[in-house]
Structure 1
Amino acid sequence: MNRWVKGVLIAVGGLFGAFLILAFALQVPAVGQTIGSPAACSTCHVMEDQVLSLERGTHRSLACVQCHTPSGFFAKPIEEIKSASRHAAVFLTNSTPDVIKPTHESREIIQAQCAECHAGWLRANSAADHQPDGLMCFECHRDVAHGRPLRN
C-alpha cells in the first residue's frame, strides 16, 4: 500500500474516532445539555430573543438541544455538526436573517421531539384528530416552547 493511501486511511480513521468521541460525549446529559443550553446559545446576540422568550415559556427547564436535535447516538452528533456548521457560516459571512426561521429539516426534528416527549398525551388524545391539515405542533402552539414573543 502506498504512503498516500495509508495517510488517507489514517486521516479517515482519526476523523471517525473523533466523531465517536463527540457522539459519546453528547450522550452524557451534562455535556449535551451544557453545549446546547440557553446560556450557550445566548452567546450569539441574534439568539437573545429566542433565549429570553424560552425563559418565559413552559419548557424553560429544557436545554435547547432537547427540542432542536434528534434523539439517537449517531443522529444527534451529526445534526449538531451540521447545525454548528450552518451557524458558523452565517456568522462568518455576516448573513444573519432579520427573522430566524427553522429549516425544513429542523422543523421535522422539532416535530419529532414534540411527539417523542408528549407521546402519552398524543395517544390519550388521538394524535390524528389533533393535527388538523397536517400542521406541526408548534404551528398552533407557537407560544408554548418559547413563551410570548418579545415585542417593543
Structure 2
Amino acid sequence: MWKKAILGSLIAIIGSYFLFQIAYVATSGPSFCAKCHEVKEYVTSWQQSPHYNLNCLECHQPRGELGKFHAKARGLNYVFQHYSGDFTVPTRAVLSDLNCLTCHLGDSESYPDTIHLKNTAKVNHYETIKKSQSCLECHRDTAHALDIYLTPDLKGAKPQRN
C-alpha cells in the first residue's frame, strides 16, 4: 500500500514538474508578455535594444529553478492585476544584477559574443560590483529606453534607493 502511494506521489510530482516546464516555456517570451497593454511599449522598446535577442526572463527572473517559480508567481499576480484592474500593489519588473554579470563577465555559454566588462579611467566596474551598486544606476535604459516612471505624470513616484 505504501509503495503505491509513494510511487503515485512521485509520478504526480514529476508530471507536475514537466507540465510546469511546458507552461514556463510557453509564457516566457516577448510575444506572450506583450499581450498585456502594460508591457507592450516595453517590448517595443526592447526590440530596438542591444538585448533584443534575449528572452524576457533571462533578465527578469532570479537565477535557478526556484527563480522560475518566483517569476511565474509574479506573473500570475500581473495577470490578476491586468484583468481585475486592481493595481494597489504596483507592478514592478525584477532585475537581478547577477543576470547582467553572468553574461557580461563571460560566464554564459549561450552568448559568447557578449561585450565583457572592462575597467576604464572613467568607470571601474570591479569597484562598482564590490560596492554592490546596481548595474541600473548607469545602464538604466540599456534593454528598455522606456521607463514609465520617467514620464512627467509619474516623475518622483518611484521609490528612491538610499
Shorter-chain TM-score tier: 0.5 to 0.7
Comparing both structures, which one devotes a greater share of its residues to helix?
A: 1
State the alpha-carbon separation in 2 of the partners of residues 88 and 66 from structure 1. Answer: 20
TM-aligned CA distance change 1:95 to 1:15, over 3 Å: farther
Contact 1:111-1:136 at 8 Å conserved across structures: yes
State the alpha-carbon separation in 1 of the partners of residues 137 and 12 from structure 2. Answer: 39
> Please, which of 88, 99, 114 is the counterpart of residue 79 of structure 2?
88
Provide the secondary structure at the position in 1 that maps to 2:142.
helix
Q: How many residues are aligned here?
A: 135
State the alpha-carbon separation in 2 of the partners of residues 15 and 47 from structure 1. Answer: 35
Q: Quick check: 1:112 aligned with 2:115?
A: no
1:47-126 mapped onto 2 (5 Å cutoff): 47-72=39-64, 74-96=65-87, 100-102=91-93, 106-107=94-95, 110-120=96-106, 121-122=116-117, 124-125=118-119
> Please, which of 37, 40, 44 is the counterpart of residue 36 of structure 2?
44
State the alpha-carbon separation in 2 of the partners of residues 15 and 50 from structure 1. Answer: 38
Contact 1:67-1:114 at 8 Å conserved across structures: yes
- TM-score when normalising by structure 2: 0.62
- For 1:17, the equivalent position in structure 2 comes to 14
Deviation, 1:113, is 0.7
Deviation, 1:56, is 1.9
Deviation, 1:75, is 2.0
**Larger CA deviation: 41-50 vs 141-150:** 141-150
Identity among equivalent positions (%) equals: 23
Deviation, 1:148, is 4.8
- 5+ unaligned residues in a row in structure 1: which ranges? none
TM-aligned CA distance change 1:79 to 1:14, over 3 Å: farther
Deviation, 1:95, is 1.9
Using CA pairs under 8 Å that are at least 6 residues apart, name the structure with larger relative contact order, 1 or 2.
Answer: 1
State the alpha-carbon separation in 2 of the partners of residues 133 and 50 from structure 1. Answer: 29
Contact 2:29-2:57 at 8 Å conserved across structures: yes
